[in-house]
Amino acid sequence: MTLKFYGNLLSQPCRAIFIFLKANQIPYEFKFIDMTKGEHLSEEYEKLNPLKKVPVIEDRGFILRESVGILRYLCREKKVQDHWYPTDSKQQAKVDEYLEWQHLDTRLNCAMYFQYKFLIPLLKSEPPNEKKVTEFERRMKTTLGLIENVWLKDTPYLTGNEITIADLLGACEIEQTRIAQYDARTEYPKIATWLERVRYDVNPYYDEAHGILNKMAGKSKL
Ligand SMILES: N[C@@H](CCC(=O)N[C@@H](CS)C(=O)NCC(=O)O)C(=O)O
């Protein structure tokens, strides 16, 4: 039975899972959840995920939510190269170190900037709340500064010398702010080089995952 992946490529964690599945040639059936139509809020979807969010996977009847948990599960269950989530305890711990940190840093601060600068004004047809935008821009830049000067200080990838699931989640989160017309590449040279490295490693899937985002980032007049 093919793995089912419920998601939407405008979602940062969904893109990370999409790239991972493709790069590892794991067969799956994509179930597009149209959040603009509120499909994630439907009764049918709620049965799958009472948290009403994407992504979700279903693997031979086993349902799993939360991108970090999903990626770790896929690394354990499927035939993938060890570098994605090393079995060596210390190397794995370094990946976990980032995965734990990112929830309240890269994920929270970049996503909130994107929401206040772009998504909320779009959904509510009203101008951005400038106070919130300024606050989250400050917090996002603190996070980006830490990625530039701490996580990428001595290594080509976030947690070492090889690409891991941490890099996929981190890169997809940072790319999201381009829809709100902020590109981290312009201010953070190490982040720029690292994003290009990650893209190169997993292309054509990186570009495929970011196709809609790239179009939106190009079109947005904000
Ligand atoms: N911690 C969750 C976050 C999932 C999440 O926030 N998904 C967003 C899209 S990026 C969503 O479904 N939002 C719909 C909503 O909040 O109504 C994960 O990493 O999987």
What global pTM score does this model have?
A: 0.97
Q: Quick one: 129 and 157 in the same domain?
A: yes
CATH number at residue 23: 3.40.30.10
Per-residue model confidence (pLDDT) at position 189:
98
Return the residue matching tokens 């994003």: 195
Is residue 121 over pLDDT 90?
yes
Distance CA 98, CA 89 (A): 15
Distance 121 CA to ligand 1 centre (A): 19
Q: Quick one: 189 and 164 in the same domain?
A: yes
Q: Quick one: 48 and 154 in the same domain?
A: no
Tens of pLDDT, residue by residue over 21-75, are 999 999 999 999 999 999 999 999 999 999 999 999 999 999 999 999 999 999 9
Q: Quick one: 10 and 71 in the same domain?
A: yes
Query: In this structure, which amino acid lies at residue 63?
Result: I
* Best residue for ligand 1 mutational test, from 14, 33, 53 (most atoms within 8 Å of Cβ): 53
pLDDT interval class at 221 (50, 70, 90): very low
Q: Quick one: 120 and 215 in the same domain?
A: yes
* Best residue for ligand 1 mutational test, from 54, 68, 74 (most atoms within 8 Å of Cβ): 54
**DSSP string across the chain:** -PEEEEE-TTSHHHHHHHHHHHHTT--EEEEE--GGGTGGGSHHHHHH-TT--S-EEEETTEEEE-HHHHHHHHHHHS---GGGS-SSHHHHHHHHHHHHHHIIIIIIIIHHHHIIIIIHHHHHTS---HHHHHHHHHHHHHHHHHIIIIITSS-SBTTBSS--HHHHHHHHHHHHGGGGT--GGGT-HHHHHHHHHHHHHHTTHHHHHTHHHHHHHHH---
Chain centroid offset of residue 26 CA: 19
Q: Domain boundary residue among 47, 82, 117?
A: 82
Tens of pLDDT, residue by residue over 143-188, are 999 999 999 999 999 999 999 999 999 999 999 999 999 999 999 9
> What's the rounded mean pLDDT across residues 122-138?
97
Range of the domain at 77: 3-82
> What's the rounded mean pLDDT across residues 191-204?
98
Q: Quick one: 140 and 214 in the same domain?
A: yes
Q: Domain boundary residue among 27, 48, 82?
A: 82
pLDDT interval class at 220 (50, 70, 90): low
Structure tokens of 190? 């190490």
Instruction: Count how many domains the chain has.
Output: 2
Tens of pLDDT, residue by residue over 70-118, are 999 999 999 999 999 999 999 999 999 999 999 999 999 999 999 999 9
Per-residue model confidence (pLDDT) at position 1:
85
Ligand 1 pocket by C-beta < 6 Å: which residues?
Answer: 11-13, 35, 40, 52-55, 66-67
**DSSP string across 135-169:** HHHHHHHHHHHHIIIIITSS-SBTTBSS--HHHHH
Asked whether the beta carbons of 177 and 110 are under 8 A apart, the reply is yes
